[in-house]
Structure 1
Amino acid sequence: MKRNELAFEFDSAWKNISSREKNEVFEMAEDYKEFLNNSKTEREATREIIRRAEENGFKPISELIENNEKLIPGMKLYSNNRNKGVALFVIGKESILNGMNFIGAHIDSPRLDIKANPLYEDSELALLKTHYYGGLKKYQWVTIPLSLHGIVIKRDGSKVEVAIGEDEKEPVFFITDLLPHLAKDQYEKKLKEAIQGEGLNIVVGSIPFDNENIDDRIKYNILNILNEKYGIKEEDFITAELEAVPVGKARDLGLDKGLIVAYAQDDKVCSYACLNAILEVENPDRTCMAIFVDKEEVGSIGNTGMQSKFFEYSVIEILSLLGEDCSPLAVARTLSNTLALSADVVSSYDPNFPDVFDKRNTAHAGRGVALVKETGSEGKNRGNDANSEYFELVRRLFDDNNVKWQIGELGKVDQEDNGTIAYMIAAYGIEVIDCGVPVLSMHAPYEAVSKVDVYMAYKGYKAFYLNK
């Protein structure tokens, strides 16, 4: 037997791809960029997912409950979790007690949250205080243009949506950094200490209000502008949810336009691929479910994170609408018979930083969707470790459907420190493996992915949904 008949090697997903599929890759990339542009925050992502779902025939579960309707195979439904997460279902022909084909992804991303009492004036500048969200490198967030997104709840209960800085005619915001001429002491600090969290204060104004009798005239001028445009007062910051994120639209990267650079691709790239896959599912044998959750970047906590009961309660609602037993035993059987993919990104090998990667076991941009058997840190602690039998099932499924895939991990064993929602899914007795798109510069203000990897993730997720 020849040596190459025994050997195995991952190579570029662009190789041997048909002209038709190559066109589909680039067409999907244009739609994906639009999705990113409309989904910079978890609220915006939820709204965009629901909009696209409704355009493809999905109806809210609440509507069926109100009309006392029962489900039938082929029906498409969604459940909105406080405008920060959503679950989608396509009802299958088989009993749901036999389990579902389920994919979970998250739609939150590292960012700067505006504090509850943020606005102040200092040295002829008005600034907003922030609290960074998720695992980010603080030094990357200074001296880049920022926009403000979110909502403000006024005292009368009305909601004001805010989005300032994305339009080229609108102002942007900015965090200053020390000039190199005065940075002698800063240079001596460790990288993570060079910029302090309490130093991530955003410049929002510099012109004083035209009234000599008012204190803090620059701050007052900003409040006056906000009141004129949005009808909000300083006290409304207390109940607001405002996020500072990088300005700009998703763009093609490289002369060959094979990559996409954009903010928040972790984990909206997998969310997008999963959404596209389930939108195309029609009359499946097994019920298909997709869930898009919040708070993954801070431990999947709260009532919108994967650790909440939203997933479980959504399944119970479906059981009820199907007229099935909703006892704890029936719910347990449904979940333990379910198969899942944890759709989250994985690090992509970066030739600029080779020392932290095991090149043989790290995903590469352009080699397809990555399967990650184990996650966690310090000896696989706090992570998921997929069963070999299940890994083989997914591998065979992808191979049978011409899905280009590769293996991945975050980095070298002693460097690795990561986690996904997979271990929370596994806690229900569900078979699950991480499966996602490799990302360059993960958690940076701008991240990069390969267009062909996005396409292969979509193709793999769709094959998984249709697997019997």
Structure 2
Amino acid sequence: MTGKTMLYKKENGWKQLNQEQRQDVINFCEPYKAFLDKAKTEREFVLESLKLAKEHGFVDAMSKDVLNPGDKVWFNLRDKNLVLAIIGSENISEGADFVVSHVDSPRLDLKQNPLYEDSEYALLKTHYYGGVKKYQWASRPLALHGVVCLKNGTKANVTIGEDDSDPVFMIPDLLPHLDAKVQRERKAGEVLKGSEMHVLVGSIPCDIKDDEIKDLVKYHALQKLNEKYDMTEQDFVSAEFELVPAAKARDIGLDRGLIGCYGHDDRICAWTSLRAILDMDHTPERTAICFLVDKEEVGSTGSTGLQSRFIEHFMQELAARIPSSKDDRHAVRRCFWNSRALSSDVNAGLNPLFKQVHDAQNASKLGYGLVLTKYTGARGKGGSSDADAEFVSELRTLFDANDITWQTGMLGEVDEGGGGTVAMFLAHYGIRTIDAGAALLSMHSPMEVASKFDIHEIYRAYRVFFA
């Protein structure tokens, strides 16, 4: 047997493109930047996505008694999960193709009783959500997003800090002239403690003359909220308020090859998978499902996390409406066992300043295309689903046949740490699953960094996978 041995090597995707193609990639990413500026919370992402789905002919699955090949339907769970499905020509018991992304990102949530006054400032107490470096959130402009459900049953959407005319909010850090004894010797995780992440929201006392009102600055802040949203202090308890960076998505670098913004993790995968299914112009053989989920950053728990049984619910509803499977009580079980899934989540790109935490030979890089992460987990592959070799081979063949630029990656050097995704919860059903997404720099920070080439390439990969 003769022949040259094939060596595995990664290639910079930009090198493959001429100037016109490079400009096409850059142009492709402009709608992504605009979408992220509008959708900074899981609720906003789901509702904006649903709006686009309706424009592309998707209808409420529960409004259909019968589903036929080519039908496009959606399920919306509490504005925090969105399922888009295109019914395939094959019997659903033969399996479906899932691309599953999470739409929540690390942030600061308000506590249930957050507002107080101290030193004639009105402040809000927060509780950080997901894995954050707390010090990164101080001394930067923050915007308030969320919903408040009033006692009378009405619901108000709140966004303050995104319009150029809006005020913003911030956590006041300590000046270097006075931090020697209080802050300077703290470890990185305690430079700013969670109990110190209080946000400035007011400084002017109200002019009301009432001896029973002692905190005039706090009361003035409440007056402003009441004027605009009709809410009282008691309404904080039935609100979901999130503080997120007020900055917009921006190009990074003289060549504009990178995008810096809040929420790449994991909305870079959610947006590309959304676009991929919206742009499908034919009936797939296998039912194609784009599943946008919540709560991944805190372990996929709760009724809108992937550890809930919502996936069973909407798959049962689909099967019950497809003539070939409606009388098969085992259709969904068989479907899961025969299905494939891309747990479309991000990977840690090789950081040029901290290369020592990576295994360079097994690290993903920005600009090198889709990252296939065979396993995640931490120390001994804890919390990993570990894709089987056969499925990896199948995807290699698929992507190579369609000229998709892809690479492999893992979350850092052994014993450095690690992380998890939703892959294990999909694999729980017997679905063949692998993580497939983009490499990032500064993951979980208020400004994460991604390559425009990778955004375009993972969109192409998801389209091929669905097709």
Q: Which runs of 5+ in 1 are unaligned?
A: none
Give distance in 2, aligned partners of 1:373 and 1:228.
53
Provide the secondary structure at the position in 2 that maps to 1:114: strand
Deviations 1:259-302, CA, capped at 9 Å, x for gaps: 00000110000001111111122211111011000000000001
Distance 1:18 1:8 in 2: 24
For 1:386-465, list aligned pairs within 5 A. 386-465=387-466
Distance across 1 between alignment mates of 2:26 and 2:439: 18
Q: 1:101 to 1:302 in 2, by over 3 A?
A: same
Shift of 1:8: 2.5
Correspondence list, 1:63-462, <5 A = 63-64=63-64, 69-185=65-181, 186-213=183-210, 214-281=213-280, 282-323=282-323, 324-325=325-326, 329-462=330-463
In the TM superposition, residue 194 of structure 1 has moved relative to its aligned partner by 1.6
1:316–1:326 Cα contact (<8 Å) kept = no
Distance in 2 between residues matched to 1:43 and 1:457, nearest whole Å: 24
Partners of 1:192 and 1:316 in 2: CA distance: 45
**Deviation string for 1:213-266 (max 9, x for gaps)?**
331000000011111111111100010000000002111111100000000110
Task: Please tell me the residue identity of whatever aligns with 2:397.
Answer: R
Letter matched to residue 190 of structure 2: E
Distance 2:370 2:24 in 1: 16
Partner SS, residue 304 of structure 1: coil
> What is the distance in 2 between the residues matched to 1:424 and 1:326?
27
- Letter paired with 1:243: E
Residue 204 of structure 1 aligns to which amino acid in structure 2? Answer: V
TM-score by length of 1: 0.96
Structure 2 unaligned spans of 5+? none
Q: C-alpha displacement at 1:24, in angstroms?
A: 3.1
Tell me which amino acid in the other structure corresponds to 2:331: A
| 2:346–2:437 Cα contact (<8 Å) kept | yes
Give the partner amino acid of 1:270. Answer: C
- Which residue type is aligned with residue 217 of structure 2? I
Q: 1:235 to 1:412 in 2, by over 3 A?
A: same
**What is the one-letter code of the residue matched to 1:76?**
K
Name the Cα RMSD after superposition: 1.5
Code of the aligned partner of 1:220:
Y
Shift of 1:55: 1.1
Deviation of 1:18 after TM superposition, in Å, equals 4.9
1:312 offset after TM fit, Å?
Answer: 1.3
Aligned position for 2:9? 9
TM-score by length of 2: 0.97
Cα separation, 1, equivalents of 2:169 and 2:327: 51
Distance in 2 of aligned mates of 1:35 and 1:156: 33
- Structure 1 distance, partners of 2:327, 2:336, is 12
Measure the CA separation in 2 of the matches of 1:181 and 1:173.
24
3-state SS of the aligned residue for 1:266? helix
> Secondary structure of the residue that 1:269 maps to in structure 2?
helix
Does the aligned pair in 2 maintain the 1:345–1:435 contact within 8 Å? yes
Question: What is the identity, as a one-letter code, of the residue corresponding to 2:371?
Answer: A
Contact 2:101 2:270 in 1 (8 A): yes
Is contact 2:87–2:283 with CA below 8 Å preserved after alignment?
yes
1:17-49, Cα deviation, whole Å (9 max, x unpaired): 255643431122101101111110000000111
- Number of matched residues? 462
Shift of 1:421: 0.4
Kindly indicate whether the alpha-carbon contact (under 8 Å) linking 2:109 and 2:127 is maintained by their aligned counterparts in 1: yes
Alpha-carbon offset, residue 85 of structure 1: 1.1
One-letter amino acid of the structure 1 residue matched with residue 166 of structure 2? E
The answer to whether the Cα contact below 8 Å between 1:347 and 1:438 also exists between their aligned partners in 2 is: yes
Identity of aligned residues (%): 46
Deviation per CA, 1:354-380: give whole Å up to 9, x if none. Answer: 110111101000011100001101110
**CA separation of 1:18/1:286 partners in 2, compared to 1, >3 Å: closer, same or farther?**
farther
Within 2, Cα distance between the matches of 1:63 and 1:329? 24
- Structure 2 counterpart of 1:140, one-letter code: Q
C-alpha distance in 2, partners of 1:24/1:345? Answer: 23
Shift of 1:182: 1.1
CA contact (8 A) 2:92 2:331 kept: no
Kindly indicate whether the alpha-carbon contact (under 8 Å) linking 2:143 and 2:161 is maintained by their aligned counterparts in 1: yes
Q: Distance in 2 between matches of 1:89 and 1:19?
A: 36
Displacement of 1:2: 12
Q: How far apart are the structure 1 equivalents of 2:413 and 2:403?
A: 29
Q: Determine the C-alpha separation between the residues in 2 that align with 1:459 and 1:394.
A: 13
